[in-house]
Structure 1
Amino acid sequence: MNQHISTLSLDHVGLGVPPGRYALPSEASARFHAQAAGLDPEAFATHLLEHYKGQRTVDALTEDECKFLRGELQEQVEDRRLAALDYFDTHVPLRFAKAAPDNAARDWAARVVADPHDTQSLLLVGPVGVGKTHYAFSVLRAVAETGAAIKWQAYTAANLYAALRPRDDRRADSDYESIAHAPLLFLDDLGAAKLTEWAEEVTYRLINDRYERCLPSIFTTNVLPGQLGATVGDRVASRIAEMCERIALKGADRRKKVSA
């Protein structure tokens, strides 16, 4: 029952811990715990090892075995949660640092952490100033709160095009791949401006890469769904329609101050 053996695994869902690799409790620590608790050390250690090898389900572990295993993993879970929140705090723009997720944001975060390749992306739709960007960052906070070590990236559409603008060095392809293949990408203000032929092609390439790799994304747009094709191209609009679940945000422009 050595630590950090890549062939061993856990039932993350059954144990209630985020997916990822963990330092598994050693055989010695399992035996010591069982002996101190007045349990059978041999059976205790054997059952845990069988679970690591996929030969024994969580349901087939005793209550004491599950409690021990969860307890041993909990410190690692908390360390990961703090690290994920620290990543969020260092990458979120100051204006959105206190974005608080609602239940829908937490639900999507839990789903994308559990199975990122089988969770639909998010398309946040609504007029200017209703809080789409704020909500998107609240979703990213919800992802961080799960403790999953997902290194997300966030760009406005304008900043994305600036970052990928052709230049005379060899970093262009690696920069593109870093963004296109990010574990989770937030692209803000999709379709906010009429695209040039180059920008339209970059947008298609980016969306298509993520579509084909089943990588989760969060998009915001002011454009009505039926008009998205005219703004970003039919190929992009078609893929977004298939890969995303849509959330419509309504309300007045929050940025406008109401005069007395």
Structure 2
Amino acid sequence: MNSYKNHTFQNIGTIAYRNLLKTLHNPDALLDVVVQPVLFMLMFGYLFGGAIDGNVQNYLPIIVPGILMQALLSAASGSGSQISEDMHTGIYNRFRSLPISNLAPLAGQLVADILRLFIAAIASLTTGYLMGWRPDAGFGWLVVVVLLDVFLGWAISWIYAFYGLVAKSATMVESVSLMTMLVLIFLSNAFVPVKTLPKFMQTIVHINPVTHVISASRTMLNNGVWSNSAWVVFLAGVLIIAIFAPLTVFVYKRKS
């Protein structure tokens, strides 16, 4: 029994490593994980910092949590694209012919997603740090924020993985993922104070779940307080996994 478990973990680790290599050697995937967070942090910070908050230094505490969440949403969407591509190019058929665990390809993808999410988080936060941003609450709370946001990003990866299994093509997954990410981020408090928006947009922003994630991150980074919003974010991640993990595994088994 232990030998079978070890064999399964080795299968998952091997496929996770394979998926990470695909990310490193795929310009589009690498752009989402590393380049995009850096570009958006630099672009939004220097272009809009003075206009919105007087200078870049005052704007960084606002934008860094926003760019962090945007980077994680973008990285999480790669799960659906990769799964859809593997399904439609016959890679999963090849996996089924190998003496490996049936769930290893799916589990390997989602394990690789955790590392992709951490890479995206490090890229965005490092850029903010080099621009002069410092978390007022200290490094310990920064670690808490990264862990919470990565956990939520990984939970969202299950949604994208489910969609990747049922979508007709990887291109469709990429298009829907991009539109979803843009809507969630730009209709939130990621880049501008909510009070500056028209009333009807303020209503949309307040019901946007990304707004609560960013607010929780700012509270922890600036004040060192685990707020009610942080609990909502954590429980939302648990709920997403509880719903979409069984659904994704069910659809995956039917297709494999």
What TM-score, normalized to structure 2?
0.30
Q: Which has the higher helix share?
A: 2
- If asked which structure has higher relative contact order (CA below 8 Å, sep 6+), I would say 2
Larger radius of gyration: 1
Which structure's residues are more often strand, by fraction? Answer: 1
The two structures have a TM-score, normalised by structure 1, of 0.29
